[in-house]
Chain A
């Protein structure tokens, strides 16, 4: 039943049927047929294929939600193979350095390294501030060299005279300006 299940799983995973090991305690890594091997191994070199990974391709990627990528990170060098032999024994005999070496052989970054802050925000903030400064300089340049001088009606004195003229002409007597002006007391209505 389980062998049928993983045949289905393999079909879904686009990896063809693996050779089933005949030994009862099966500690083999994934066994691939020659065609796949020719396709994959030039790209991954001497690395061991260990699983399905994220999408079935023999790639390595560090993702928090997928703890186990499809291949080991480092190529299988003689030192690492020696460590793997040691790994088959009691793990209490492994020193801390051995354990760390084994971890780094299979994985690139630890979870805390994946989630560590990158300081990228400083770069982004700097770019934004640069953009503000640049546009400020551009605005100054435009005002000094590009725009014509401002219209003569745009100063305070002219506008005060305009307002006085509007009141003299009784413009907006119902709902507008003059309706807010008290002509007897010569001040704005309270």
Chain B
């Protein structure tokens, strides 16, 4: 009986020790978690590096843009700048404007606070590449109307 109790207490002791170890090292792989979590910095760097690839092509840039728009965040200006430069390399002007519209949409209800700052950060790149913002193109208001498919 005592041996059983002793075994139980040692296993409990070991478990407690491992839990304490887990708390101490948050970066190392913990038993119950999936893996190392990416920091914001690493996330941004990953996307900037992807867009900065000199041999990026249409498929990849669109995949990256769709993916980053699907994330629950407004991209950092340096990611946007890298994306615009990639559009320039691919000679696709409309994609650049489309992505700016997507960023504006990602700002959501806080657009009046976030977008002016982003615009200020990316303005040098916009003037350098000759990209107009959606407002300058007149696309901040609807230009054309589409007929409702259910009423055709």
Which A residues are closer than 8 A to B by beta carbons? 2, 6, 9, 18, 21, 24-30, 50-54, 64-68, 70, 84, 87-88, 90-94, 96, 99-100, 102-103, 105-113, 115-116, 118
Q: Is the CB of B93 within 8 A of A91?
A: yes
- B52-81: CB near A (< 8 Å → 1, else 0) gives 011111111111011001100000000000
Q: Is the CB of A111 within 8 A of B104?
A: yes
B-chain residues with CB within 8 Å of residue A65 when the two chains form the complex: 69-70
A-chain residues with CB within 8 Å of residue B137 when the two chains form the complex: 96, 99-100, 103
Q: Is the CB of A64 within 8 A of B54?
A: no
Q: Is the CB of A109 within 8 A of B60?
A: no
8 chain-A/chain-B pairs, Cβ below 8 angstroms = A28-B58, A66-B69, A103-B98, A107-B94, A109-B144, A110-B139, A111-B102, A116-B145
Q: Is the CB of B130 within 8 A of A90?
A: yes
Cβ of B141 within 8 Å of any chain A Cβ, yes or no, is yes
Q: Is the CB of A106 within 8 A of B139?
A: no
Q: Which of A64, A67, A87, A112 contacts B139 (CB 8 A)?
A: A112
Given contacts A110-B143, A112-B142, 4 further A-B contacts (CB under 8 A): A51-B58, A51-B61, A107-B98, A110-B101
A-chain residues with CB within 8 Å of residue B61 when the two chains form the complex: 51, 68
A118→B148 CA distance, assembly (Å): 9
Given known A25-B89, A52-B62, A94-B130, contact A110–B54 (CB-CB < 8 A): no
Taking the nearest CB of chain A, how far is it from the CB of B47, in angstroms?
Answer: 14
Q: Which residue of A lies closest to B141 (CB)?
A: A112
Given known A27-B57, A116-B142, contact A111–B130 (CB-CB < 8 A): no
Q: Which of A24, A50, A88, A103 contacts B58 (CB 8 A)?
A: A50
A64→B59 CA distance, assembly (Å): 19
A-chain residues with CB within 8 Å of residue B145 when the two chains form the complex: 113, 116
Q: Is the CB of B94 within 8 A of A112?
A: no
Most B-side CB within 10 Å, residue of A28, A94, A100: A100
Q: Which of A50, A94, A115 contacts B93 (CB 8 A)?
A: A94
A25→B55 CA distance, assembly (Å): 5
A67→B85 CA distance, assembly (Å): 17
B-chain residues with CB within 8 Å of residue A24 when the two chains form the complex: 54-55
Taking the nearest CB of chain A, how far is it from the CB of B152, in angstroms?
Answer: 14
